[in-house]
Amino acid sequence: MDYKHFNGNQILFSAIGNESFYLLDYYSSSTTSPFLEAHLEHDFGGLIFNKIPLLRKLKISEIGQFNYVVIENGTPYYEISAGIEKLGLFRASYSFSFRGSQSSVSGLVIGIKIN
């Protein structure tokens, strides 16, 4: 009850939120110590897909995301993701995760965006 558990994911389908990690193990970073957590997301608004006539009609947006967490006296964990989003609701992203300077996992996550 006293532990801070970060919103991790280990399955292909997920509810995607602003405070979610795509590839973090559920309890690998749980802590009672001080921590720093950051989530950055940018919607490119069709920057690339709007230049291709047939894809423009689909109204798909490109999404870039960066998630970061570091625990006191621990190794930083971060994810870099790129994906597409339809109607601001459905999303497919491919993510790369890193613990320190070592790449650990990469994978595809498909989900519904929640706020």
Kindly indicate the confidence band of residue 32, based on its pLDDT and cuts at 50, 70 and 90: confident
Please say if the pLDDT value at position 64 is more than 80.
yes
Cα–Cα distance measured from residue 4 to residue 29, given in angstroms and rounded to the nearest whole number: 9
Q: Where are the domains of the chain?
A: 13-113
pLDDT for position 80: 92
Strand boundaries in 5-101, DSSP class E? 13-16, 35-43, 60-71, 77-86, 90-99
Q: Tell me 106's DSSP state.
A: E
Model confidence, pTM: 0.79
pLDDT for position 38: 92
Q: pLDDT over 90 for what percent of the chain? A: 17
The tokens 């597409």 sit on which residue? 84
Please say if the pLDDT value at position 107 is more than 70.
yes
* Cβ atoms of residues 98 and 78 within 8 Å: yes
